[in-house]
Amino acid sequence: MKQALALPAVIRDALRADEAQLPVRVLKTIARQENSSEVLVKLIQLTVVSIWGALYLVSPKTDVGTQFSPVPFALAGYMVLNIIGLMWALKRGLPNWVVYFSIFIDIAMLMVLIWSFHIQYEQPPSFYLKAPTLLYIFIFIALRALRFQARFVIAAGLSAAVGWILLTLYVVVSNPKDTMITRNYVDYMTSNSVLVGAEVDKIISILLVTIIIALALKRANSLLVQSVTEQTAAQDLSRFFDDSVAEQIRSADHVVRSGEGIRREAAILFVDIRGFTPLAAQLDASEVLAILSAYEKRIVPIIQRNGGTIDKFLGDGIMATFGAVTESSTHAADAIRAIDEIMVEVETWRQVPELQRIDPCSVNASVAAGPVVFGALGGENRLEYTAIGAAVNLAAKLEKHNKTVRSRALTDRATWQRAAEQGYAPANRPPVVNMPVAAVGDNLDLVVLYAA
């Protein structure tokens, strides 16, 4: 019973329209791929007609002495039409009616060419029914599969079937006194007789091939729509994730689950605008967002350029990791180099209209290095990739401690020494102060990277 119910479901799934409820931007992406496919179709058609032309030129002519030879004219006309179609497709894409017209021309030209054989070789009309040229019809049907649109394959198949029916009827009615119909297969194979069953077989073969390709294409189109939809969604989501995190999600061997993580040696960087909260309270929401947007557009590229990954935005604060997502042997050095660039960058903000309200000295930063656990946290339906560990907590506390030390950027001695071991060479040796840090416990040797 379940199998009986499953079959209609499979057929319904194969035939349903997948694009009806898609967003416009997804439909535009699919349309661009369709246009590219039509260009490919035209190139293949030109290649095929070129091969046919070359074969016609080098092969011995079987129509020597006949007065009617339409093949070169048909090939030339077909090539001209396809060149026009290719130029149109490259310029702005072909509308559907042009594609249908192209299909009609393909089939009509082939059928007229086959029909002309009995005139060309001065034989009765039944002569052309045995022409192997009919096999080219399957090339034209298969060619339409490149568009991932079953309707074009169906149009080609139906046109071919109707064309062959008309050619067969022409043979039967062209001479009322002798329809040339036979029921003897040997007679059919050795003469110009017509075996109706053989012609019906050809028509059925054309229709079955069309149906099979159309069904396969419908399934392929479903996968195309799903792929484009997921690709568009991934591109949209990548704007909310750092590139390295998005790549890790895409390349995961299995679905990411909460609680999965890895332990890494990493550096954690915090950047914050001191005093931004009271400033934001005096501004319109649009002004606040304009400031934050301009601020992040300038800070984020610096972090990424030095090998950092944006972990999260915390209002006017930014948390970044170095060596957590992708293992790095220079994580501490890279993080401090990023701070150096940030401190140079903020001095240029007086020339940026959106950032003129921000005092460069109010942009604070801190970095701490050590072992962290990087992975996914949250519930099954809402996950977040982040880093946790003592280095994260210390970096957050050092950023707040800038106010106490009256500094703009801080790190601890252990991180500083690690950065030096990793190749960081400062222009000047920064001062070191030993003092307690809130909620840390023992006194720490703090390296003042930039004083206020």
Q: Spell out the per-residue pLDDT of the chain, length 452, in tens.
A: 444 445 455 445 544 545 545 666 666 666 677 777 788 888 888 887 888 778 777 755 655 555 556 677 777 888 888 888 888 877 877 788 888 988 898 898 888 888 887 877 778 888 888 888 888 899 889 888 887 788 889 999 999 999 999 999 988 888 777 767 878 888 878 788 888 888 899 999 999 999 999 888 887 777 767 766 666 666 666 666 666 666 666 655 555 566 677 899 999 999 999 989 888 889 899 999 999 999 999 999 999 999 999 989 888 999 999 998 889 999 999 999 999 999 999 998 888 888 888 888 899 999 999 999 988 777 766 777 788 999 999 999 999 999 999 999 999 999 999 999 999 998 888 999 999 888 787 889 999 999 88
CATH number assigned to the domain comprising residue 438: 3.30.70.1230
**First-last CA distance in the chain:** 79
Are residues 380 and 289 both part of a single domain? yes
Are residues 200 and 64 both part of a single domain? yes
Are residues 214 and 286 both part of a single domain? no
Angle at 184 between CA 182 and CA 188, to 5 degrees: 70
Q: Quote the domain boundaries for residue 326.
A: 243-251+259-451
Q: What is the pLDDT of residue 407?
A: 93
What whole-number distance in Å separates Cα of residue 25 and Cα of residue 228? Answer: 10
What whole-number distance in Å separates Cα of residue 295 and Cα of residue 385? Answer: 23
Q: What is the pLDDT of residue 10?
A: 45
Please give the single-letter amino acid code of residue 115. W
Tokens found for residue 166: 């008309």
Are residues 277 and 158 both part of a single domain? no
What whole-number distance in Å separates Cα of residue 253 and Cα of residue 38? Answer: 35
What whole-number distance in Å separates Cα of residue 280 and Cα of residue 285? Answer: 8
Q: Are 79 and 49 in contact (CB under 8 A)?
A: yes
Are residues 295 and 218 both part of a single domain? no
Contacts of 137 (CB under 8 A, 6+ apart): 107, 110, 160, 164, 206
Please give the model's pTM, rounded to 2 decimal places.
Answer: 0.57
Q: What is the pLDDT of residue 315?
A: 86
Are residues 172 and 306 both part of a single domain? no
Are residues 299 and 423 both part of a single domain? yes
Q: Give the distance, in angstroms, between the CA of residue 276 and the centroid of all CA atoms in the same chain.
A: 40
Question: Which among 185, 203, 238 is the end of a domain?
Answer: 238
Tokens found for residue 258: 């909460």
Are residues 221 and 247 both part of a single domain? no
Q: What is the pLDDT of residue 222?
A: 73
Angstrom distances, CA of residue 10 to CA of 7, 150, 214, 297, 441:
5, 17, 15, 49, 66
DSSP lists the bridge partners of residue 270 as 319, 366
Question: Which among 175, 205, 238 is the end of a domain?
Answer: 238
Are residues 44 and 174 both part of a single domain? yes
Spell out the SS3 assignment of the chain.
CHHHHHHHHHHHHHHCCCCCCCCHHHHHHHHHHHHHHHHHHHHHHHHHHHHHHHHHHHCCCCCCCCCCCCHHHHHHHHHHHHHHHHHHHHHHCCCHHHHHHHHHHHHHHHHHHHHHHHHHCCCCHHHHHHCHHHHHHHHHHHHHHHHCCHHHHHHHHHHHHHHHHHHHHHHHHCCCCCCCECCCHHHHHHCCCECHHHHHHHHHHHHHHHHHHHHHHHHHHHHHHHHHHHHHHHHHHHCCCCHHHHHHHHCCCCCCCCCCEEEEEEEEEEEEECCHHHHHHCCCHHHHHHHHHHHHHHHHHHHHHCCCEEEEEECCEEEEEECCCCCCCCHHHHHHHHHHHHHHHHCCHHHCHHHCCCCHHHEEEEEEEEEEEEEEEEECCEEEEEEECHHHHHHHHHHHHHHHHCEEEEEEHHHHHHHHHCCCCCCCCCCEEEECCCCCCCCEEEEEEEEC
What whole-number distance in Å separates Cα of residue 14 and Cα of residue 9? Answer: 8
Are residues 287 and 401 both part of a single domain? yes
Contacts of 313 (CB under 8 A, 6+ apart): 296, 319
Are residues 308 and 356 both part of a single domain? yes
Angle at 53 between CA 47 and CA 56, to 5 degrees: 140
DSSP lists the bridge partners of residue 450 as 409
DSSP lists the bridge partners of residue 385 as 376
Number of domains in the chain: 2
Are residues 234 and 247 both part of a single domain? no
What whole-number distance in Å separates Cα of residue 8 and Cα of residue 119? Answer: 50
Burial 275-294 (b: 16+ CB within 10 A, else e): ebeebbeeeeeeebeebbeb
